[in-house]
Amino acid sequence: MADARDAEDSRLLGEGDHATLLATYYPVVVERLRLRLPDGDAYEVAHNVMERLLSELAKGKRYPVPFRVVVHMVTGWKLKEFQTRGRVELLPENWDPESGEDPFAEFEQGHDLELLFAGLPERAREVLRLRYLEGLEIDDIAARLGLDRNAVDQALHRGHRKLREAIG
């Protein structure tokens, strides 16, 4: 079923039919949120999830994972944000989506995986890039780089350790 859903998502993304794509996920997001929040809050958080996804899609953002995974990740983030703050920030009345201003661009740039990977040794950087940016499995990475699976596991482990040290 996931394969059929992913194929339909890819088709809608390719056609640029973002409204239909998001409409298929809206009931799922609302239901997930209603299990954790009162109805009014669930709909508010669902609205924020859809708004963020639509904004990213309108900007042409592409994801290395299936869109259904992105939807659930954003839902989790918005739920956590709501629970920690008590309320999701609403957009200011004078906000113009066409203004080109992105208040999160600086934050995202500071957390860009490519930038984080830049300080790593070459093998670890390449393995982490293939794993997290291209979404390859460990066996696929090993085949692409001509390495043993164990060497890929070790490079991932070392890369994760160095990232933890760098992030603090």
Calculate the alpha carbon distances from 7 to 3, 47, 133 in Å: 6, 25, 20
Calculate the alpha carbon distances from 103 to 70, 78, 115, 140, 166 in Å: 21, 17, 19, 37, 25
Looking at residue 89, what is its pLDDT?
Answer: 54
DSSP H stretches of helix in 16-148: 18-34, 39-58, 67-85, 105-110, 113-117, 122-128, 138-145
Give the global pTM. Answer: 0.50
For residue 91, the 8-state DSSP code is: P
Answer whether 20's CB lies under 8 Å from 12's CB: yes
For residue 20, the 8-state DSSP code is: H
Domains in the chain, CATH or no CATH each:
2-90 (1.10.1740), 110-167 (1.10.10.10)
Which residues are CB-neighbours of 25 under 8 A, at least 6 positions away? Answer: 50, 53, 68, 71
The H-or-E segment that residue 3 falls in is helix 2-15
Query: Which residue ranges of the chain lie beneath pLDDT 70?
Result: 1-2, 86-112
Looking at residue 114, what is its pLDDT?
Answer: 73
Looking at residue 132, what is its pLDDT?
Answer: 80
**116-150 pLDDT tens trace:** 788 888 899 899 888 887 888 999 999 999 999 99
Helix axes 18-34, 67-85, angle to 10 degrees: 50
